[in-house]
Amino acid sequence: GDSVTQMEGPVTLSEEAFLTINCTYTATGYPSLFWYVQYPGEGLQLLLKATKADDKGSNKGFEATYRKETTSFHLEKGSVQVSDSAVYFCALSDTDKLIFGTGTRLQVFP
């Protein structure tokens, strides 16, 4: 069945460092791909999405490109802030639901 694999965390960075969180997927057909963010004590929020191959989703300085040839959707940000500390989930669309990765915790220190 469809699945999503994310790099394990925590990812620990200093402020202004470059961020990459890896996400690869296995799917039949052409799913949409998503990144969600969960801040402490809150529900998940959509960060960005891409609906077809080569699409780039972007929001709040974060970017991810839908790579069909490598079945990947890696999340990147050029300069992280302390306020980016959160858990990040990669997901793909199945017919009736989203398939989520296990989440990657990001900790950014001043």
Partner 1 sequence: NAGVTQTPKFRVLKTGQSMTLLCAQDMNHEYMYWYRQDPGMGLRLIHYSVGEGTTAKGEVPDGYNVSRLKKQNFLLGLESAAPSQTSVYFCASSYRGPSGRTDTQYFGPGTRLTVL
List contacts with partner 1 (CB under 8 A): 29-32, 34, 42-46, 49, 51, 89, 93-98, 100-103
Q: Least distance (Å) from partner 1 to the CB of residue 34?
A: 7
Q: Least distance (Å) from partner 1 to the CB of residue 70?
A: 21
Q: Which is nearer to partner 1, 59 or 79 (CB)?
A: 59
In this structure, the chain runs to a length of: 110
107 within 8 A of 13, measured Cβ to Cβ: yes
Q: How far apart are CA 42 and CA 63, in angstroms?
A: 22
Burial class (CB in 10 A: 0-12, 13-18, 19+), 34: buried
Q: Least distance (Å) from partner 1 to the CB of residue 71?
A: 17
Full strand arrangement of the beta sheet holding 19-21: 19-21, 75-77, 62-65, 56-59
Q: Which is nearer to partner 1, 28 or 70 (CB)?
A: 28
Q: Which is nearer to partner 1, 18 or 39 (CB)?
A: 39
Q: Least distance (Å) from partner 1 to the CB of residue 101?
A: 7
